[in-house]
Chain A
Amino acid sequence: MSNKVLETIGLTKYFYEPAKFKVLDSISMSVDHGEFVSIEGKSGCGKSTLLYLLSTMDTDYEGKVLIHEEEVTGKSDVDLARIRNEKIGFVFQFHYLLSEYNVLKNVMLPGLKLANLSEEEVEHQAMEHLKTLDMQDQALKMPNQLSGGQKQRVAIARALINNPLIIMGDEPTGNLDKRNSDMVFDIFKRLTKEHNQTLLVVTHDNEFAQRTDRIITMEDGKIIV
């Protein structure tokens, strides 16, 4: 079995509003298991668009996306939801925690949706992840009682709950100050080192990108390095 977690073949995408415009131009790339990859580039170069194609949420493109050697292009909404649930963890710039649920329940939700484990086991897992992120004391708080850095850590725990194949980050440190950014980076670094977790992070923070294993630099919809 190959080591490729994620692979794209000739990905091309157009934006149609306000006029037809090629955002991505036949992008072919791959991410190996255990890699910590960052995609870097200027605003509008198409790096976020690429991430959303890889995430299976955006299905309007030409070319192919393979996750774990399995072609996901053209699959149904339900199948794609299942793939996201099982194989991909997300960390966005904004935390997107559900304000109606407490921290623990927020972390548990994707696990409950997957329903491979009982509710007690999912809760135990969620607690473990919160512990590794040093958030166990906040488990029963509501999201609005947490600071920005704490919220982002909860979001990371939520991304980890189903032991995903890959964690995708879209500017995960964009909203954080220097201290919290460093903390999030350290967490990511630790995950790759200790758990061999694959990470793909889109960032325009050059300093952040420099510290990852591999940098993919994009410009005008193409990969240049």
Chain B
Amino acid sequence: MNYKLILNIALHLLGARLKQTVVAAVGVTFGIAMFISLVSFMNGMNDLLDGLMLNRTPHVRLYNEIKPVENQPVSLSEQYKNNINFINSIKPKDRGKAIYNSKTIIKVLHEDKRVLDVAPKVVTPVFFHSGTIELSGVINGIDIIGEENLFKFSDYITEGSITDLEQNNSIIIGSGLARKMMLTVGDIIKVTTPKGNLVLLKIVGISQIGITEIDDMMSTTSISTAQKILGEATNYMTDIQLNLHDITTAPQLANEYRLKFDLDAIDYQTTNSQFETGSTIRSIISYSVGVVLLIVAGFGIYNILNMMIYEKMDSIAILKATGFSGNDVKWIFIFLSLIIGISGGVLGLVFGYIFSNIIDVIPFNMASLPTTETFPVNYNPVFYVIGITFAVVTTTIAGLLPALKAGKIDPVEIIRGK
């Protein structure tokens, strides 16, 4: 088949109906542009909201949970092996929250090729005192470099800097705590540990995660300061947090480490299952809106091509009489819709990018999101690939029915009618 000639004829037919063609293409452009900007914005928002919680969650967390011993002594006994044993009033045994042999575990994890980063942590509940006020809270003793690698903690510090924690007896407190106790950077805060030790810490910064419950409770200090105020040795740690190269392997690795180190391990997917659902639903909404817009554009193309066929009956008849087969004529109309689809689609991508840029500079200040100044936008190239694919597929489908009809037109009927 002579595609060059057929394309040439398609172009000339379009040229003769330029206005309608432009309207049809604008329909596609509008659909794609809205799709791109909507999906980019929705995904930007998803990333932001997910980041709020998910960036605070390690891929795998190793810890010691207070719980009853699973294998009670009686089940270990040979004598009662074949009996059914009932034990009343089992109490959990406090093995302490500390992870035994922590230094070795960390060394092993560092050597594991699947693990990207390891950050140990000491978490302890405390009381904060300021004057007569007494508030319960939590101190996270963090490994400064590890924590920064895993969670970009510095993004959430509104005053001061994470490196200030390297000073002895320094602390970064949550914004809620700071507000309630009227504390600012440079003030001294009194802290009572669960064991009754009273320590004074200097406030070097204020953090804001964006979740009030956490900001009202949490404060951060270096792991060595935390160990010191608890009166523990430098191998004392309550959590080991891991980030992996491939997040999808988290459940499997959590299982493996649970057995290997005899610790509790929880993976990212288990911790955040509700968040994943929310993201999925938002994506579904934005994709379906985009698809609906394109279907509407598709109907526009269908209409215009149908009208064009009625207008161009004579041309179709003479093309067939002079040697163009039904197939050739069909391809002319498929090319017509492809031209509309591709040109409208590409323009749609351009406008979608422009709209995304405009959304990207609209100010968006939320008290709970200190590092966000404008609406979030995700410029993922995949959206653009999906967009142009949608455009081409819908316009082809819209053009297919009229094209088949044009291919079947009987030239004799038209020529006889004159």
Chain A interface residues toward B at CB < 8 A: 48, 52, 55, 57-58, 77-78, 80-82, 84-86, 90, 92-94, 96-101, 109-110, 112-115, 158, 162, 170
Contacts and interface: CB of A to CB of B under 8 A. Distances in A.
Tell me what chain B mostly uses at the interface: helix, strand, loop, or mixed: helix
A90 B322 contact: yes
A85 B323 CA distance: 4
Nearest to B12: A100
Given A52-B416, A58-B412, A96-B318, A114 B323 contact: yes
A110 B326 contact: no
Give the interface size bracket for B toward A. 20 to 34
B416 to A, nearest CB: 7
Contacts of A100: 12-13, 15-16, 315
Given A96-B318, A100-B16, A77 B323 contact: no
A99 B412 CA distance: 20
B366 interface: no
Contacts of A58: 412
Given A78-B327, A98-B315, A100-B15, A90 B321 contact: yes
A112 B9 CA distance: 11
A110 B323 contact: yes
B5 A113 contact: yes
A97 B416 CA distance: 16
Given A81-B328, A92-B418, A112-B5, A158 B322 contact: yes
A57 B323 contact: no
Contact of B325 (A77, A92, A110, A158): A77
Interface of B: 2, 5, 9, 12-13, 15-16, 314-315, 317-328, 410-412, 415-416, 418
Q: Which of B13, B317, B322 counts the most A-chain CB atoms under 10 A from its CB?
A: B322
A19 to B, nearest CB: 19
A35 to B, nearest CB: 22
A57 B320 contact: yes
Contacts of B418: 92-94
The 10 closest A-B pairs by CB, nearest first: A85-B323, A81-B325, A96-B318, A100-B12, A110-B322, A94-B418, A100-B16, A78-B325, A84-B323, A52-B412
A98 B16 CA distance: 11
A162 B326 CA distance: 20
